[in-house]
Every structure is written in structure tokens, then in C-alpha cells.
């Protein structure tokens, strides 16, 4: 009797292809992180009227590599009070999701002459992304949520107070902004109609005006960029590692290569988040416009990569610019911005957008024409937004009144009443 | 499932990379731990207090309110993918659903569930603090001179 020889039937061709893809993307990610760290240090230096790293390699390009190598030779300490297993596990939990998050990004593609971004390799249709699951965006959300565990467990297992405070701050901050992030993302899904990143890029391949940045009406983009910056714990939302208050935050107790892996994961997330911005709102590797007057002798896929890289640089520079320019928020300001501004705005905007699009392509019979329908829905939607904003303002005012009624005796000054 | 193979390969590669880094660090790094080195970090002094066992309840509140919104998002994602087919009925349904969630959210806000820090309106400036009576000589107390001889007497 011949049974099933293996539980999973392995196709060796697929396996070899998978390993090659993984190795290439692994190398590309590591190099891009190395360059990103260099880029950040160089740009911040210039913005602060300094020179920045310029000794290691041409233009100091190898500085990150040297720093990383140095960390191998540093003593690796585990604090006496630490939970040793979790303490050692946490860097893995931070690093692995950071790698996996990048797999759904389409990094190049042939969009010339109405191509759909695919390239024929050896008679097989290929897309320039590691995996293209039909639930790509959910995969991204899952991985970005998993990354929090690394930070949370790192802080908790250190057995020290500053890392603990840092990690509790981090988890509260990240879940607060994840709601805003998810709601702003829903607007993109609304206009593109798919969860696959490849599909999202294809829906935006019709030039500048088809980008979700334009079709969702700019507001979700702004919300997404703010929430994305907060998700990354980048300045001005870097309360997680606010040096003046809590030393180094969750990685205070980490030294040597363990620290390096957290650092690596952090910068990899910066690159990935920028790529997510590009994919969701700027059409990924799809060109902003065609050049009918120039016939570049480049293969279409390479043009796709050039477009992608150019758009990516905008956001990478933006993150560095934020860091050099904006002062850090206070914790109450951070929470107020996330909960009382971004979340209600993203929700309201999504509903208005859905209403307008339903009115545009269905005969809902409020008016004689589709345009009339759209106008009526728009008026109702804006009235709803205004009512919601009014309600929210009243609630905030009420909370403030109640708090000041119970809080303090009126005689003294805060901090002086002994 | 074979389309997820590259991601699985990358997962293994990343874990291997981290593991090999630890091995490398173990081979190359010096190891002479001492008690002060392994003590929990405190800016150069002996830690006076243990890490807190309890945390402000606001952090838990944030987590609970987040779950409400997370569930709303879970329901919104399928809706935004099929809203064309659902047309007006779907729009009305999702608007009612969003209004219900928003209403409870407004209640939470009005009860101060998401307020952090001291209330800013309770701050009143004491008028005596901004008077012309306050000068450098009246508000600064010189310390460390008690019991010490004046400078000229030491010289003599």
C-alpha cells in the first residue's frame, strides 16, 4: 500500500526559488538599513551645521558597518534582576517581524505602455515582491503589531525601572496610533478595492491623478504619516526613549550585539514604513506620468525601481527632517492628538468618502442625477462631521470641568501647596 | 501555501542571522561581569527603589478602549471591500454602527477616561509672585556660608 510519503508535497523548484528570493531580499534589507543609518546621520549633521561621519569609507558610507563590528567586541551584560529567557528572546521578536514586513512591498515593476507591473522571466510572470498574499495589508498590520512584543518584553524582562516605563509607554502609544493607522488605511482600501499590495499599486498605476493620495483626498495620507511616525517611535513621538526622562527607554539594559539588533530593527522599520507610504499613497513603482517625449533605453522594470526609490527617498528624508526639526511631544499631548483628533477624523473621513463613492456609482434616488446624489450625500456627511466634532468638543470641555472641580484647592499654585 | 515559502525562508534567515550574531558576540566579547555592572541601571547611584509593581490605571483604560476601536476596524475592512455591492443599505448600516461606537467614545472622553496629567485650568498665578518686591537679593538664599569665617579674616 502506497501512502502519502510526506505531509507537505515539496516542490524543489519552488523551494530553491524561495531561498534565492529570501537571500536577495535579506541582503538588500541589510544594505538599505546600513545606508539609511548613514543617511540619517549625514543629513542630521548638515541640518545642525556639522559634517557628520566622513572617515570610514567614501563619504563615511561604511560608518554603520564599523559601528556594528565594534559592537561585537563589547561586553554583553544581562542584569542580575532580569528574566533571562525573555531578555534573550526579545531581540528576535523585534528583528524578525521587521524583516517580514518588507516582504509585501512591490519594489519594482514594468508599468510602461500599460503593462501591469509584471515581468516575464523564463516564460513565467513575475512580480517584484517577495510574497504577494491576497491579504497583504493584513500581513503588514499583523507584523507591525508583533513588533510591539519585542519592545514590551525587552522592557519588562530587564528588571529595571526605566526600561519598564519605556515599554509601557511604547505599548500604549503604539496601540493608540494603530487605531488611527488602521482607519486611515481603510480609506485607501476603499478606493483601491483590494487588500493585496500588488493590487493596490495596480489601482494607482494610471499616473499622478490615480494615486490614493489624490483619490482619498489627502487627509488620510496626513493621518497615516503622523500615525506611522508614532508607530515607529520616531521623533517627535519618541517618548519611548526620551533620554531626559527615562535614559534609553526599553533598551537601557541592552548592550553589545543585543542592542545592535534592536537598532537594526528600528531602522529597518523606518525603511519599511516609508515603503508602505509609497505603496499605499504614491503608487509604489508606478510612474507619476509617462514621458512620451523621452524614450529612455532602460527596461521598464528598472524605471519602476527608479520611481519607487525616488518616492522612498522623499519619506526617508522626511523622517530625518522631523527628527532634526520637531521637539518631542508631552505624553498627554501625544494621547490627545491620537485619540481626540486623528481617530475621529479618520473615521469620519472614511464614512464621507464611502458615501460619496456610493452616490457616484449607484442610483440611490435622493436626486435626479448621480451628481445631485453626490452633492446631497456630501452635505449630509459634512453636517455629520460637524456634529461629531461639536459633540467631541463638548465632551472634552465637560471632562476638563469635572477634573478641575475635584482636583485642587484653589488657593495655591500647582506644585507649591506643600 | 507555496507562495508563502519565501517569507518563511526569510523568517528562518533572520532568526539565523540574530543567532549567529549572538554566537559571534559570545566568541569575541570580553566577559568579566561584576556586581555593579549587573545592577539595574540608575544614573551612577545605588538604586533606592524597586521597579514599580503597579501602573497608572490609565494605561489599562487605553488598552481597553483600543479593543473597541480594533473591533470596529475589523468590521470596517470587509465593508470597504464590498461597499459597491451593498450600496445605500450598507452605507446606512455602517453609518449607524460607527455612530454607536462614536457615541460610547464621546461618553468615555466626557468622563475623562483619556485625560493625562494635571488639569491645566486649575492653575492660578499667585499675584505676589509677579510683584516688584522680588529682586535677586530677596529671592536667592545664599547657602554654605554658615559658620564659615569671612574671607578677609581668613587672610589675617
Contact flag B80-A160 (C-beta cutoff 8 Å)? no
Which pLDDT score, from 0 to 100, does residue A417 have?
38
Q: Of A354, A362, A148, A143, which Cα lies nearest the Cα of A240?
A: A148
User: What would the mean pLDDT of A244-255 be, rounded to a whole number?
Assistant: 81
pLDDT digits (tens, 9 = 90+) for A234-243: 888 888 777 7
- For A151-164, what is the mean pLDDT? 84
CB contact under 8 A, A344 and B105: yes
Distance from CA of A406 to the nearest CA of B (A): 10
Residue B146 has pLDDT above 70, yes or no: no
Q: Rounded to a whole number, what is the distance in Å from the CA of B145 to chain A's nearest CA?
A: 27
For an interface test with B, give the residue of A74, A130, A280, A342 to mutate (most B CBs within 10 A): A130
pLDDT in tens, A82-139: 888 888 889 888 889 988 888 888 887 777 666 666 776 666 667 777 788 888 888 8
Higher pLDDT, A177 or A293: A177
pLDDT band at residue A312, thresholds of 50, 70 and 90? very high
The answer for residues whose C-beta is within 8 angstroms of residue B60's C-beta and 6 or more apart is none
ipTM of the assembly?
0.78
Measure the N-to-C terminal CA separation of chain A; round to a whole number of Å: 88
pLDDT beyond 50 at A3: no
Residue B121 has pLDDT above 70, yes or no: no
pLDDT at position A225: 93
Minimal-distance CA residue of chain A relative to B117: A332
The domain locations on chain A are 29-62, 78-290+298-329, 341-401
pLDDT at A251 > cutoff 50? yes
Q: Which residue has the cell 513575475?
A: A126
pLDDT confidence of residue A224 = 93
Distances in whole angstroms, Cα of residue A379 to Cα of each of A197, A374, A376: 33, 9, 5
Residues of A in contact with B21 (CB under 8 A): 72, 257, 260-261
Which of A190, A194, A199, A250 should we substitute to test contact with B (largest number of B Cβ atoms within 10 Å)?
A: A190
Lowest-confidence pick of A196-210, A401-415, B29-43 = A401-415
With an 8 Å Cβ cutoff, are A96 and B98 in contact? no
- Is 70 exceeded by the pLDDT of residue B106? yes
The mean-pLDDT minimum among A215-224, B19-28, B123-132 falls in: B123-132
pLDDT surpasses 60 at B35: yes
β pairing state of A124-126 and A119-121 = antiparallel
Q: Find the CB nearest A175 among B28, B66, B125.
A: B66
Looking at residues A173-180, what average pLDDT do you find? Answer: 88
B98 and A347 in contact by Cβ < 8 A? yes
Higher-confidence residue of A223 and A416: namely: A223
The C-alpha atoms of residue A281 and residue B24 are separated, in whole angstroms, by 41
Residue A277: which pLDDT band, with cuts at 50, 70 and 90? very high
Give residue-wise pLDDT tens across range A178-198: 889 999 999 999 988 888 888
In this predicted structure, the answer to whether residue A416 has a pLDDT above a threshold of 50 is: no
Interface list for A 194-213 with B (CB within 8 A) = 194-195
Q: Is the CB of residue A403 less than 8 Å away from at least one CB of chain B?
A: yes
Dump the DSSP string for B30-78. -----HHHHSPP-SSS---SPPPS---HHHHHHHHHHHHHHHHHHHHHH
- Pick the residue with more confidence: A64 or A417? A64
Residues of B in contact with A72 (CB under 8 A): 21, 24-25, 28-29
Whether residue A219 has pLDDT greater than 70: yes
CA distance A387 to A393: 10
Q: Output the average pLDDT for chain A.
A: 82
Give me the total of CB pairs closer than 8 Å, taking one residue from chain A and one from chain B: 266
Residue B18 has pLDDT above 50, yes or no: yes
CA distance B15 to chain A (A): 6
Q: What is the mean pLDDT of chain B?
A: 79
Backbone angles phi, psi at A88, to 5 degrees: -80, -30
Closest CA in chain A for residue B18: A92
Which pLDDT belongs to residue A271? 92
Q: Do A395 and B109 touch (CB under 8 A)?
A: yes
pLDDT of residue A300: 67
Cβ distance A339 to B117 less than 8 Å, yes or no, reads no
Chain A: closest CA distance from residue B144 (Å): 24
Judged by CB atoms closer than 8 Å, whether chains meet at A133 and B3 is answered as yes
Query: Percent of chain A, pLDDT > 70?
Result: 87
DSSP one-letter string for A100-128: HHGGG---B---GGG--S-EEETTEEE-B
Question: Does the pLDDT of residue A142 top 50, yes or no?
Answer: yes
Amino acid at each position: 500500500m502506497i501512502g502519502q510519503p510526506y505531509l507537505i508535497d515539496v516542490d524543489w523548484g519552488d523551494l530553491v526559488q524561495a531561498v534565492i528570493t529570501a537571500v536577495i531580499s535579506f541582503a538588500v534589507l541589510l544594505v538599505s538599513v546600513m545606508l539609511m543609518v548613514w543617511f540619517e546621520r549625514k543629513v542630521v549633521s548638515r541640518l545642525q551645521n556639522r559634517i557628520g561621519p566622513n572617515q570610514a569609507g567614501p563619504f563615511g558610507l561604511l560608518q554603520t558597518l564599523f559601528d556594528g563590528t565594534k559592537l561585537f567586541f563589547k561586553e554583553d551584560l544581562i542584569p542580575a534582576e532580569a528574566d533571562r529567557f525573555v531578555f534573550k528572546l526579545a531581540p528576535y521578536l523585534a528583528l524578525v517581524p521587521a524583516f517580514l514586513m518588507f516582504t509585501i512591498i512591490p519594489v519594482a515593476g514594468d508599468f510602461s505602455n500599460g503593462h501591469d507591473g509584471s515581468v516575464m522571466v523564463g516564460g513565467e510572470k513575475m512580480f517584484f515582491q517577495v510574497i504577494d498574499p491576497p491579504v497583504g495589508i493584513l500581513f503588514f498590520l499583523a507584523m507591525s503589531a508583533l513588533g510591539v512584543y519585542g519592545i514590551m518584553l525587552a522592557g519588562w524582562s530587564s528588571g529595571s525601572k526605566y526600561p519598564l516605563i519605556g515599554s509601557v509607554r511604547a505599548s500604549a502609544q503604539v496601540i493608540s496610533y494603530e487605531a488611527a493607522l488602521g482607519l486611515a488605511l481603510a480609506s485607501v482600501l476603499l478606493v483601491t478595492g483590494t487588500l493585496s499590495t500588488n493590487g493596490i499599486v495596480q489601482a494607482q498605476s494610471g499616473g499622478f491623478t490615480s494615486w490614493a493620495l489624490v483619490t482619498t483626498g489627502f487627509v488620510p495620507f496626513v493621518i497615516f504619516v503622523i500615525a506611522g511616525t508614532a508607530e515607529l517611535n520616531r521623533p517627535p513621538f519618541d517618548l519611548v526613549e526620551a533620554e531626559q526622562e527615562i535614559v534609553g527607554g526599553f533598551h537601557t539594559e541592552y548592550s553589545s550585539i543585543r542592542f545592535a539588533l534592536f537598532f537594526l530593527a528600528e531602522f529597518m522599520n523606518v525603511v519599511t514604513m516609508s515603503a508602505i507610504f509609497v505603496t499605499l499613497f504614491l503608487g509604489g513603482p508606478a510612474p507619476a506620468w509617462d514621458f512620451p517625449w523621452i524614450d529612455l533605453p532602460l527596461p521598464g522594470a528598472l524605471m519602476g525601481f527608479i520611481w519607487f526609490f525616488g518616492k522612498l527617498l522623499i519619506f526617508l528624508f522626511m523622517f530625518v527632517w522631523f527628527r532634526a526639526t520637531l521637539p518631542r511631544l508631552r505624553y498627554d499631548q501625544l494621547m490627545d492628538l491620537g485619540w481626540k483628533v486623528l481617530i475621529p477624523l479618520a473615521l469620519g473621513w472614511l464614512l464621507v468618502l464611502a458615501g460619496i463613492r456610493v452616490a457616484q456609482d449607484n442610483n440611490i434616488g435622493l436626486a435626479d442625477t448621480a451628481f445631485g446624489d453626490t452633492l446631497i450625500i456630501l452635505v449630509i456627511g459634512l453636517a455629520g462631521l460637524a456634529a461629531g466634532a461639536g459633540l467631541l468638543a463638548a465632551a472634552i470641555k465637560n471632562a476638563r470641568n469635572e477634573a478641575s472641580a475635584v482636583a485642587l484647592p484653589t488657593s495655591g499654585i500647582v506644585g507649591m501647596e506643600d | 501555501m507555496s507562495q508563502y515559502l519565501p517569507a518563511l525562508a526569510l523568517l528562518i534567515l533572520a532568526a539565523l542571522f540574530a543567532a549567529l550574531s549572538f554566537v559571534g558576540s559570545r566568541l569575541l566579547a570580553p566577559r568579566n561581569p561584576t556586581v555593579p555592572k549587573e545592577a539595574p541601571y540608575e544614573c551612577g547611584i545605588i538604586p533606592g527603589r524597586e521597579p514599580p509593581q503597579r501602573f497608572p490605571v490609565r494605561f489599562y483604560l487605553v488598552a481597553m478602549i483600543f479593543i473597541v476601536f480594533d473591533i470596529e476596524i475589523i468590521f470596517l475592512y470587509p465593508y470597504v471591500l464590498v461597499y459597491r455591492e451593498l450600496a445605500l443599505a450598507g452605507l446606512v448600516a455602517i453609518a449607524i454602527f460607527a455612530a454607536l461606537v462614536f457615541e460610547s467614545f464621546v461618553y468615555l472622553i466626557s468622563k475623562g477616561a483619556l485625560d493625562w496629567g494635571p488639569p491645566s485650568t486649575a492653575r492660578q498665578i499667585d499675584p505676589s509672585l509677579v510683584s516688584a518686591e522680588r529682586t535677586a537679593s530677596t529671592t536667592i538664599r545664599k547657602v554654605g556660608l554658615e559658620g564659615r569665617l569671612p574671607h578677609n579674616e581668613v587672610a589675617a
